[in-house]
Structure 1
């Protein structure tokens, strides 16, 4: 590692020395010319040494060759190796101490699982997933009409604390309703910690936050865009959605907070999404994830690991609360600084374990080669492989980038459905109708590698059965794409797909 740092430092030192020398001699034209050549070449050398995937390396090479100056700026903000992101030493130590302190109260055992799922659960755990819990009740919340009332009801019943974290939080009717519920609880003496992603919620200004802050809420922006370190963190976003109430009830899933997620947007109309309500021991995993992010992000409060896991406080934030359930829950988290892409590996392990069917719902389908190959092989082996994607996209590049992967999948027998009721944002996964996954991660490289994400795996629960019913209902209002229709698509669509596919490793 030290040698690599010295190599990079030497490259930039030499380049900087040449540019400075020429500038001192007055050769401004040569300075600009060499700057546009040497610096991109230095970045290309860095990317080459990092041994990235071939697709990512080639994509960056093309950007840097044809758009050298702009390419360097883009690389600085979006292309740097996530494992080198800067971390505050104090928060790093505090997070490590927190993890050690709560280890005895977390769900770590997997032995209580039925034998047919034990191998998969152990594999997921070995790749960085959490333990499996059989003392947690789960409930699928379909769309905003079920999700937001359930979250508001839980907040209004809070006795000790409410922890809330979102990638996107809007200052609109839906966002204000939750804010008012939080203020009411603050006035009743309940602790509130409110965290939002600094880029996803960059429009969330002080006018919205001040009433919360005045009422006593602790507020943190995760890697805010106003930070001088933003250039190092811009590409690594916290995409998680977590609500924890009293350490007993928790929520996660695909819905952010905003009117569009409650189907009140004129642009998108009906918004199809899925959230998950948990009650019981597995909520400790949501709590641990939230607090790990909180200690990293918070700068206004004096919270330390002892605030949440000290001898006198640990049972307030991690209370014993076992609930009878009909199956098991396993929480899996991952992010750009994780040792392994745990969520991606968990999904791959689930695909490999499938005996009958693999059903996926994702708004963005930009898979890596391994995932793509396994889905194609599963379809060729006779499994019922279905992928549900939006019929209407919310982004040009992601929409056409997604469609660029349809051809090989259709050729090998994967059934592709495009949702016909406006936009589907749900991130769902179902294997053999028995093993489900609900959470924040899309089936794309960004969620696998660059974002902080969370997925809840469901084993033989009523919630997994509900996912199957929801899938069937969604297929009924979707259009199944045929290979013939795909081949006959207009030339302009092919061009859009090819251009989007070219930069898909960068998305």
Structure 2
């Protein structure tokens, strides 16, 4: 290929223009500009994040804002509740926002000491007759923001799963977060203000900091990407990064059920020779999601994407690192519910040193993982075996399973929070349903590895249809109840002429 017939100055100008195009595309896809002047510290697992968060809470001088999808009534949850209550009793404004669905198992009594201490506690999107489908839009964010000067974004909720129980030999789940000091902390705090407003009256103006007034604390640039229902900001940004990356893109995700557009973005990038690697849990705490995730392996593997399953208790991190420069950490999972339906928050960090840390962490996690290969691949010493959430559609290398790191991870998993046999069966059926749906719309063929469970699903559907024919009330009554609920909601909305929360 010959050089373009332009002088060096013209080519340099064109390069600068392309750089501006890339930055403009990132801003437009994420609705977030870069915020310079921050310090950033990687937080690995709840064993690092929880002490850092509690230290920030203890040192608060003006206010504390905490937002999390799950806050459990257990050892870890009570430690945070008691620390927040202590600061509230001292007269400091303390605001806690939890998700109603995420905290369904946390009793009202758990929050009473916080409220009695003077903290304001809100539940996000409890069920309402007038908003029957509002429960589909959850607040899945994980944020700790203090004084407008410190903020942390993470994948971990607050519970013993993330803290572990060392005295019982139960290892913590693998998860990742990051803490900031500087203007980005104020931007994250302002994001909290928006979800707080979606759940009720707004914050007092003096608790909504201005990032422009926060002095620099470092040289790290951060983009704070706020996920809101229907906005698809991190979805668009990840597609842009995936199609633009040059050398490598490494992702970790716990509930990996990619939309078709993201599948094609990763597949086309891998076909172009980029090192695309994805790390997911081998044993998912939601077996149904694990089954759906495995149903999507084949097109990625065929395109050259390398897939790894982590053999430890559960990997819950949501991260991506591109070309050793750009890093994403946050609460968004790579599935439609998270990308399009929930309130989420992620940070995109542009810094080589920080990206190098995340890449090192990713490689360390791979040491406790098994790489996946298609059944047709000539993998030496491979064999088929069944996994917890569903049957593997692949073979694994026997050498992988003999590594000491894998053995250690498997031993930790044996003493961790485990699912039930019912969950495992549902996971297999979920995978079969996903494969069948894609086959019926012509997206893929039903592979040999799926025939057994797709056949079982077909039989189950035949039995349900027969039951509907023989006893139509079994299907009619639930359908009538749902239609009645929707009709009442429409009447209530018309009568009040109100707008849905948020």
Question: Residues 129, 316 of structure 1: CA spacing in aligned structure 2 closer, same or farther, 3 A cutoff?
Answer: closer
The root-mean-square deviation of aligned C-alpha atoms, in Å, is 2.5
Tell me what 1:393 maps to.
284
Measured in 2, the distance between the counterparts of 1:268 and 1:346 equals: 37
Measured in 1, the distance between the counterparts of 2:68 and 2:17 equals: 36
TM-score by length of 1: 0.70
Measured in 1, the distance between the counterparts of 2:277 and 2:210 equals: 40
Q: 1:118 Cα shift?
A: 5.3
Tell me what 2:115 maps to.
213
> Following superposition of structure 1 onto structure 2, how do residues 22-171 of structure 1 map, counting pairs within 5 Å?
119-171=21-73
Measured in 1, the distance between the counterparts of 2:53 and 2:299 equals: 41
Matched, 1:440 2:331: yes
Q: 1:295 Cα shift?
A: 1.3
Measured in 2, the distance between the counterparts of 1:446 and 1:268 equals: 30
Which of 343, 349, 352 aligns to 1:452? It is 343
Contact 1:270–1:421 (CA<8 Å) still a contact in 2?
no
Matched, 1:253 2:154: yes
Tell me what 1:320 maps to.
213
Which of 305, 310, 326 aligns to 1:414? It is 305
Matched, 1:335 2:236: no
Measured in 1, the distance between the counterparts of 2:242 and 2:112 equals: 46
Question: Residues 344, 135 of structure 1: CA spacing in aligned structure 2 closer, same or farther, 3 A cutoff?
Answer: same
Measured in 2, the distance between the counterparts of 1:397 and 1:372 equals: 20
Matched, 1:498 2:391: no
Matched, 1:290 2:192: yes
Q: 1:231 Cα shift?
A: 2.1
Which of 237, 241, 247 aligns to 2:142? It is 241
Measured in 2, the distance between the counterparts of 1:325 and 1:163 equals: 23
Measured in 2, the distance between the counterparts of 1:200 and 1:409 equals: 31
Matched, 1:279 2:279: no
Matched, 1:347 2:238: yes
Which of 472, 478, 492 aligns to 2:369? It is 478
The alignment covers a number of residue pairs equal to 379
Deviations 1:325-372 (A, max 9, x none): 23310011122243xx11100101111220000101000111111111
Measured in 1, the distance between the counterparts of 2:193 and 2:170 equals: 33
Measured in 2, the distance between the counterparts of 1:430 and 1:193 equals: 33
TM-score by length of 2: 0.71
Measured in 2, the distance between the counterparts of 1:216 and 1:124 equals: 42
Measured in 2, the distance between the counterparts of 1:319 and 1:205 equals: 40
- Residue aligned with 2:137, SS: coil
Tell me what 1:423 maps to.
314
Q: 1:316 Cα shift?
A: 6.0
Deviations 1:205-237 (A, max 9, x none): 221111110111111100014x33452212111
Measured in 2, the distance between the counterparts of 1:457 and 1:320 equals: 21
Matched, 1:263 2:131: no
Measured in 2, the distance between the counterparts of 1:397 and 1:366 equals: 11
- Residue aligned with 1:424, SS: coil
Question: Residues 422, 485 of structure 1: CA spacing in aligned structure 2 closer, same or farther, 3 A cutoff?
Answer: farther
Contact 1:236–1:451 (CA<8 Å) still a contact in 2?
yes
Question: Residues 304, 458 of structure 1: CA spacing in aligned structure 2 closer, same or farther, 3 A cutoff?
Answer: closer
Contact 1:120–1:353 (CA<8 Å) still a contact in 2?
no
Tell me what 2:359 maps to.
468
Measured in 2, the distance between the counterparts of 1:138 and 1:203 equals: 34
Matched, 1:356 2:247: yes
Measured in 2, the distance between the counterparts of 1:117 and 1:419 equals: 37
Q: 1:323 Cα shift?
A: 2.7
Question: Residues 502, 214 of structure 1: CA spacing in aligned structure 2 closer, same or farther, 3 A cutoff?
Answer: farther
Contact 2:193–2:202 (CA<8 Å) still a contact in 1?
no
Runs (5+) with no aligned partner, structure 2: 1-15, 394-427, 439-502
Measured in 1, the distance between the counterparts of 2:262 and 2:256 equals: 11
Question: Residues 304, 372 of structure 1: CA spacing in aligned structure 2 closer, same or farther, 3 A cutoff?
Answer: closer
Measured in 1, the distance between the counterparts of 2:105 and 2:330 equals: 24
- Residue aligned with 2:136, SS: coil
- Residue aligned with 2:133, SS: helix
Runs (5+) with no aligned partner, structure 1: 1-113
Q: 1:405 Cα shift?
A: 1.0
Measured in 2, the distance between the counterparts of 1:417 and 1:166 equals: 28
Measured in 1, the distance between the counterparts of 2:360 and 2:26 equals: 26
Q: 1:277 Cα shift?
A: 0.4
Contact 2:193–2:208 (CA<8 Å) still a contact in 1?
no
